[in-house]
Structure 1
Amino acid sequence: MNSPTIGSLRVYGATLHYEVRGRGPLLLLIPGGTGGASSFDSIADDLAAEYTVATYDPRGMSRSTLDDPEAEQRVSEHADDAFRILGLLSPSEPARVFGASSGAIVAVHLLTAHPDRVARVVAHEPPLVEVLPDAAEHRALIARVKETFRTQGLMPAMVVFAAGLKKDGDTAEPAAEIKLPPQAAARAEQTMANLPYFVGRIVPSFMSYSPDTHRLEALSDRLVLACGEESRGELPYRPAAFLAEGLGTELRHFPGGHTGLTTHPAEFSELLRKALRV
């Protein structure tokens, strides 16, 4: 893996850690869950053969610090962070953007808020549950996660959250047997450190976010909605499939499940490269 150029960017209420590698048009990769810039290590070098690839730790995660550690988090503010990175690294040309999971929610908002700065967005399994017909059920799930986190702590809240993401009738335990690449396994400590922030402030805010579907319809030629082949029936899959059908666009399928870029990096990178072509 080539060593990236590392920088920091001061934004409202936070200081962002970002990394840049490669040359060519700018491609911004927005991580989801508890991930940061390092969650893209397995695909960033490959993509850097064609793009200037920028990755970063979202505010409050890993090396991106908050001025107020207790500050509430908003999708619009995270999208503004991404907008500031685009302005820094590609001030005169629209960029391509990939977002995974909660990062895909940020990417979708970035597209609707700043369409002049975005040439194409690939959103992989954004849990935009507010677009679904049964959104009320998922609001109840979020409320249960918040209350469990408040009264019982992190791991019981994670159990409630994970159960709500499974497909109907799936009682299997989470796939702990999956063998991850060494670099992914090495991130376990960082992931655990980010979990309380993710469960306590990212999940409730981001999964309550409702996108501007009218704006998305007008911008649908720049939006690629994607899901994992193995995610069918699971909650993170459903909003992307629902939106793609409503917008009349193709739903792209990537290898693996919700974390396919970690479990199938080579195949994921190849399909992402195709999806990014304008």
Structure 2
Amino acid sequence: MSDHYDVRGTGPVLLIIPGGAGHPMGLEKATDLLCERFTVVTYDPLGLAHGQLGKPVEEQRVEWWSEGAARVLEAVLPEGESAYVFGTSAGAVAALDLASRHPGRLRHVVAHEPPVVAVLPDAERQRAMFTEVRDTYRARGVEAASARMTAGLEERGLTQQELDKESGTESGTEGQLPSLTDELATPMGVLLTRVLVPFTSYAPDLTALSAPSPRLTIAMGIDSAGQLLHRTGTFLARRTGSVARQFPGGHLGLLTHPVEFAGRLRETLVPVG
């Protein structure tokens, strides 16, 4: 089995598990800054940035990503040292599972907006929403699925414009359904069809995550206040006794606010003084 990852910088190991389908695209600005303080190891669980995009991918399981991350740490961690871990979105779900299964090699885990809706009182409704997003993609394409997921994450109904996207009337795309090739051709297609449902169905081990080691911080975007994943993070932090911390931007804050986000992450992992 081949694990795909990149290593840059010097200092203590910081493992980054990207969101979406695990493709590390767009992370360069943030990792450039983090490399000044850490040995940044960017994990690419499906190898999408390492020549595997477009190749067959089965529906994913969270533990496959976390066990792969554990193997990467085994390969890069100096003897006797422990690692910092940061995961966002789907990568944050894998980071939580890694913390549950391999706490001994981890120092501090920051999970940014993991969609672990199983911790919510309305978990069943939210899981059904994500399943509907996947089914919408297969029935009506990526624009319709994106509109439905945005509305679901913002916990609101679809606007008229989004309903038009869903029906295909806005762009005249009725009948142009994604093929199997389309599903595997882009990270978004892989996310919607292979990652979204199993990862949002994952139930974290709250007992393991409540242990004092490794330290766990639940990160939530300032701009996500009032939205599904901010609510999820709040519940998760309460149920594990973890620190909840606001981070710049929204769910995609690592991409939209890379400088501020990297600064907040660095300061969260290694507080000044």
With normalisation by structure 2, the TM-score equals 0.83
The aligned length equals 249
Structure 2 residues not aligned, in runs of 5+: 163-183
Identity of aligned residues (%): 44
After TM superposition, the structure 1 = structure 2 runs for residues 6-155 of structure 1, keeping only pairs within 5 Å, are: 11=1, 15-34=2-21, 36-59=23-46, 61-63=48-50, 65=52, 69-92=56-79, 93-155=81-143
**How many Å separate the matches in 2 of 1:56 and 1:22?**
15
Structure 1 residues not aligned, in runs of 5+: 1-10, 175-190
Contact 1:57 1:64 in 2 (8 A): no
Superposed displacement of residue 248, structure 1: 3.0
Whichever residue aligns with residue 202 of structure 2, its letter is Y
Superposed displacement of residue 80, structure 1: 0.8
With normalisation by structure 1, the TM-score equals 0.81
**How many Å separate the matches in 1 of 2:89 and 2:136?**
22
Contact 1:168 1:234 in 2 (8 A): no
Contact 1:168 1:233 in 2 (8 A): no
- Aligned Cα RMSD in Å? 2.5
Structure 1 residue corresponding to 2:222, chosen from 181, 204, 229: 229
- CA 1:169–1:195 in 2, change beyond 3 Å: closer, same or farther? closer
Structure 1 residue corresponding to 2:148, chosen from 127, 146, 160: 160
Match of 1:185 in 2: none
Q: Deviations over 1:208-261 (max 9, x none)?
A: 000000111124661011101110111121211111122333310011111112
Match of 1:181 in 2: none
Question: Per the alignment, in what secondary structure is the counterpart of residue 39 of structure 1?
Answer: coil
**How many Å separate the matches in 2 of 1:221 and 1:21?**
24
**How many Å separate the matches in 2 of 1:81 and 1:66?**
18
Contact 1:18 1:56 in 2 (8 A): yes
- CA 1:67–1:76 in 2, change beyond 3 Å: closer, same or farther? farther
- CA 1:149–1:170 in 2, change beyond 3 Å: closer, same or farther? closer
Contact 2:16 2:42 in 1 (8 A): yes
- CA 1:128–1:44 in 2, change beyond 3 Å: closer, same or farther? same
Structure with the bigger percentage of strand? 1
- CA 1:24–1:232 in 2, change beyond 3 Å: closer, same or farther? same
Superposed displacement of residue 34, structure 1: 4.4
Whichever residue aligns with residue 159 of structure 1, its letter is A
Contact 1:26 1:52 in 2 (8 A): yes
